Structure 1
C-alpha cells in the first residue's frame, strides 16, 4: 500500500510537469514580442540602434516624432529600418511548432493609442526634471531689492529711446518669404548717429587699471541709484556696439549684478537692465547661460508690469532666448506663454511683433503647443488674423501653422471654424502681403492632413474655388500648398466613398486606412 501511494504521487508530479511544458511552448520568447506594442511581431524590423520592433510601431513613433526609452533605459534610433527576416522566420517556425496562428498585422489606431500612452509619462518626466532644475535656479537667484539712496533726484532723459524706426534689424527675407529670418528683436539696434544720441559714460577708477567687468560691477552693485543708472547705461552701450563684449561680459558675477536690478523701482534703471540683457542674449553661446541663471521669471514680470519700453525689451528678450532649442521648453515651463499671448494686443508694435515671433519659435516644441491649446488661445488667434492686417497677421498665422501640427491643435482649430476663417480671408483677397497669403494656405494645408472632417468643412466653406484660384495665380509656395490641399481633399473624398463615415477618428478626423497604406506623412508647415 505504501508502494501504491508513492506511485500515485509520482503520477501527479509527472502530469504537472507535462502541463507546464505545454504552457512554456505556447508562451512566445521575449525576443518575439515588440517592446512597444507588446504583441507577437508580424513584420519585425531592426532599427539603427539595434533593437527589433513591429514595423507599424516604428511607423507610429516616427510619425509622432517619439523616441521611446525601453525597459533597460536604452534609447532607440529609427533613422534606418531594415526587415528582420531571420527573426520573422523564427517566429513563424515557432508558431507552426506551437500549433497557433501566425500573428496578424496590428491595427494602426490601436498601436497609435499605445504610443500616446507611452509618450505621456516620458514628457511629464522630462518636464518635471526641467522644472526642478529651473525652479532651483530661480530660488538660488531671488530678486534683491536695494536700499536706494534717501536723496532722490529728477527723472533723467533716456537716451536709448527705442522708438526710432532704425532700431529694427531684420536680415534676409523677401516679399514672398513667409517668415523673415529675423535674428534680432526689433528693440535692438546698431549705433546710428542720425537716429539717436548715445551718452558716452566713462568709468574710471582712481586706483589704477581695472578690468572693464570690474568697473561695471562697481557701478551695478552700488547702493546709489545714479551709479546703478550709469552702470546699466554703460553696459547697454558697450554690448550694443561691441560683439566681443557680449561674450566677455556675460559672466556669472555680472549676470548676478544685472539680475538684482531687474525689479528696480526706477524706470531708467529697469529699462536699461532689460535692454542690456537683450544685447547679451544676441550671442548664441549666452542664451542658455542666461536662462539657467534664472532670468526668465523676471523677464515675464517685466513684460506684465513694466513700462511700455520695458515691455518692448522684455518681449525682445524672450524672442531672442527662444531661438535656442535648449531654451524653448524651459521658457514655456516657466510661464511665458500666457503673458506673450496678452502682449500680442499691446499698443506697441514692437512688443506685438517680438511676442509673436517668440510664440512662433516656442510652438516649434510639442509641450508648448499642448500648453497653448489648453489655455484656449485658438479662437483668440483666429480672431486676430481675421481682423488684424500686415506682418502681425502673418506671424500669428505661423503660430497657428505650428499648432496645427499636433492632433490637439488641429482638433481645436477645426472646432473653432479655422477652415471657414482662413478660406474667407483668401476669398476677400484683401491680404496685404503675399507672405500672409502663403501662411494662410499653409495653415489650411496643415489642417487638411488626411482629414475627412476638413474635407466636409472645406466643402461647406466653398474652399475648392478659392484654392483653385490660388493654385493658378499665387506665388510658387502658395501654388504648391494649394495644389496639395486640393489633392488631399480629393483623396479624402475617395476614401469617404469607399469607407463611409465610420472610418473617421473623432480625435483628429484621421482615417484608419491611411496608416495601412503608409503613403502620407505629417508635414511641418514651418519648412516651406
Structure 2
C-alpha cells in the first residue's frame, strides 16, 4: 500500500485482499487533522464521539471494542469507548470540505483492514491497566441522515427510560418534541448506553451519598424531588460535598432525572449539576459521563428555570480547556446563541454570553459560531445596547478568525462599532468602550479593507478624541492609537503573545480574568454555587 498504508500510530502493511475503500481518497497532507480518524489516519465517513471526547471512525471503535482493546493516543491518554454518539456535525463539515476541495466523499474503511491495524497495535502495546473489554451491545446504531441532530436518538432512549421510572403525579409535565415513529424501533438497543448496570466494583457509599442515592433511585417522584433538594442543599456551599457526591452512581441517576417530564425534578437536577460542576476535578467527569447532549435537550425544550440552570452548567463546564471542543462538537453553540438572544432570564443571557466566550477561545468553535449566524446577531445586539461589554468581547474572538473577520466587515461591523463609540462618549462604560476599540483593533490587523471602511465611518475623528481625551484608561488610549496607526498604513503585525496580552487586558477590564474563571469563585457569577 506504500505510504497510504501509514497512519498516525504505526505502520501496517495492508493485505492484497483488502478492499479499495481502505485507501484514503484524499491527500493526507492537505486534510485538516480533525477530519482524520486517529486509528486509521483516514478521512472519516461515519464519525462518532466517544465518552472521553475524541472523535473516531465508527468501524475503528467497533473493532477496538470487539477486541476488548483501548489503545493509547499520541498524547498518552486512553480513550473511553463506553459510549458512542454519532457526530453528524463533523460528518456534515467533512462532506462540505470534500465538496469545496472536489474530493471524493469518504467511504467506510474495510473492517478486516482496520482489525489488522488494531491487532498490530495490540502486539506492540500488550494489554495492561486501563485496557478493558467493552460489550459490543453498547455501540449505538447509526443515525439516519435526516435525523435532526447528533443526539436526538440518544435523547429518545433516555426519555423513554425516564418515563418508565416515574409514577403518576399532579406535577406539570414538560412539553417535548415528538419523534418519528420509525425511531422507536431503535430505542431499546441504545437505552443502556448511558446506564451503569454494575456498581459492585465501586467504592462503598458514604452515609451522605447513600441517603441521596436511595431517594434518587426510587420509582416515586416525591422521593426524586426530596433527594434532589437534599443534593442541591449539600452541594450549595460545601466544596468537599461537591467532590464526594460527584460519583458515577449519583451522575448515572442525574442523567435520567435531568430530562424528567416534571418541572420541579428537572429544575432541581439541573441546579444540582451546576453545583457539582463548580469543582475543577468534576468538570471533565461530568462531560465524559454524557451530560452535554442532555443539557442541550433541556435548553431546547425545558422550563425557563431549568434552562437558566443549564446555561450556567454549560458555562461552568466550558471553562475547562478539555471540554471546549466536545461541547462545541456536540451542538451547544446554536442553543446557547438562542438563549443569548431570546431567554427571558437576564442571568441566562449573561451566562450564555460567557459560555460562548469560553467556547470561542478555540478556532473550531469560532467557525461554528460564525456559521450559526452569530456575527449579525451580535452586531445587532451591540447596536441596541444589549449586554454590550460581553458581546464585544465575543466579537473580538470571532474577528480573530478569517470567517469571522469577513462576516464583521460584510455586516457593517466597523460602522456599528464606530457608531457605538461615538454615541457613548466619555460617560459610557469603560469596559464596553475598551472592548469596542479592541474589536476594531482585531479587525484592523493585516486587513487593507478595514482602512476604507473605517475612514468611511469617520473612525479617525472618534479615535483621535479618545487618544486626546483627559478621561479614559491608558489601555483604551493605547488601543485607539494602534487602530489609528493601522488606518494610516503604519500598522505592524502583532505576534501571538501580543494578541494574547491584548485579550487578557480586555478580560481584566471587564472583570472576566481567566484566573477568576478557572477558580469559579468570582462573586456575582451566576454559577457561583447560589443554587
- TM bin, normalised by shorter chain, reads 0.5 to 0.7
Aligned to 2:312: 316
Cα displacement string for residues 317-357 of structure 1 (whole angstroms, at most 9, x for unaligned residues): 00000000000010000000000000012121011000000
How far the C-alpha of 1:211 sits from its partner, in A, is 2.0
CA distance 1:119–1:428, change in 2 (3 Å): farther
Measured on the aligned residues, the alpha-carbon RMSD in Å equals 2.7
Q: 1:441 aligns with which of 437, 443, 452?
A: 437
Residue 18 of structure 1 aligns with which residue? none
Give the Cα–Cα distance (whole angstroms) in 1 for the partners of residues 37 and 487 of structure 2: 38
1:335–1:526 CA distance, 2 compared to 1 (3 A): same
- Residue from 155, 169, 178 that aligns with 1:152: 169
3-state SS of the aligned residue for 2:49? helix
1:479 matched to which residue of 2? 477
Query: 8 Å contact 2:277–2:317 — kept in the other structure?
Result: yes
Are positions 1:405 and 2:400 aligned together? yes
Output the CA distance in 2 between the equivalents of 1:470 and 1:121: 43
Q: 1:296 aligns to what?
A: 292
SS at match of 2:83: helix
Q: Choose from 259, 264, 268 the match for 1:263.
A: 259
Residue from 232, 235, 242 that aligns with 1:246: 242
TM-score, structure 2 normalization: 0.60
How far is 1:120 from its partner?
A: 4.5
Deviates more, 1:144-153 or 1:317-326: 144-153
Shift of 1:487: 1.3
In the alignment, what sits opposite 2:134? none
The equivalent position to 2:489 in structure 1, one of 478, 483, 491, is 491
Q: TM-score, normalised to structure 1's length?
A: 0.60
Task: Give distance in 2, aligned partners of 1:300 and 1:126.
Answer: 26
Shift of 1:72: 8.7
Deviations 1:148-205 (A, max 9, x none): 56553468xxxxxxxxxxxxxxxxxxxxxxxxxxxxxxxxxxxxxxxxxxxxxxxxxx
Aligned to 1:372: 369
User: Do the aligned residues in 2 keep the contact of 1:438 with 1:478 (CA within 8 Å)?
Assistant: yes
Which residue does the alignment assign to 2:336? 340
- Contact 2:311–2:351 at 8 Å: present in 1 too? yes
Confirm or deny that 1:351 pairs with 2:297. no
Q: Is the contact made by 1:357 and 1:395 (CA closer than 8 Å) also made in structure 2?
A: yes
1:396 lines up with 2:383 in the alignment:
no
Query: 2-side partners of 1:418 and 1:320: how far apart?
Result: 30
1:104-253 counterparts in 2 under 5 A? 120-125=31-36, 131-133=49-51, 134=53, 137=83, 143=158, 144-147=161-164, 150=167, 152-153=169-170, 211-253=207-249
TM-aligned CA deviation for residue 432 of structure 1: 4.2
| TM-superposed deviation, 1:117 | 9.4
Q: Deviations over 1:15-62 (max 9, x none)?
A: xxxxxxxxxxxxxxxxxxxxxxxxxxxxxxxxxxxxxxxxxxxxxxxx
1:201-229 CA-to-partner distances (Å, cap 9, x unmatched) read: xxxxxxxx962112111100100000010
Q: How does 1:27-66 map to 2 (within 5 A)?
A: none
Q: What's the offset of the Cα at 1:290?
A: 0.4
Cα deviations by residue, 1:431-473 (Å, 9 ceiling, x for unpaired): 7411100110000000000211100110111100111111233
Structure 2 unaligned blocks of 5 or more: 1-5, 10-26, 39-43, 56-81, 86-137, 139-153, 173-204, 506-531
Residue aligned with 1:265, SS:
coil
Whole-Å Cα distance in 1 between the matches of residues 273 and 49 of structure 2? 23
Residue aligned with 1:450, SS: coil
- C-alpha distance in 1 between matches for 2:405 and 2:361: 15
The counterpart of 1:521, out of the listed 477, 489, 495, is 495
For residues 264-292 of structure 1, the C-alpha deviation after alignment (integer angstroms, 9 at most, x for no partner) is 11111100000000000000011011001
Candidates 279, 285, 300, aligned match of 2:281: 285
Q: Distance in 2 between matches of 1:226 and 1:328?
A: 36
1:429 equivalent in alignment to 2:429 = no
CA drift of 1:125 comes to 2.9
Q: Which moved more, 1:371-380 or 1:236-245?
A: 371-380
Counterpart-to-counterpart distance in 1, 2:460 and 2:441? 13
Q: Please state how far the C-alpha of 1:490 moved relative to its aligned partner.
A: 1.8
State the distance in 2 between where 1:285 and 1:241 align: 17
What's 2:130 paired with? none
Where 2:219 maps in the other structure, the secondary structure is coil
Instruction: Describe the SS at the equivalent of 1:347.
Output: coil
Contact map agreement 1:362 1:368 (CA 8 A) in 2: yes
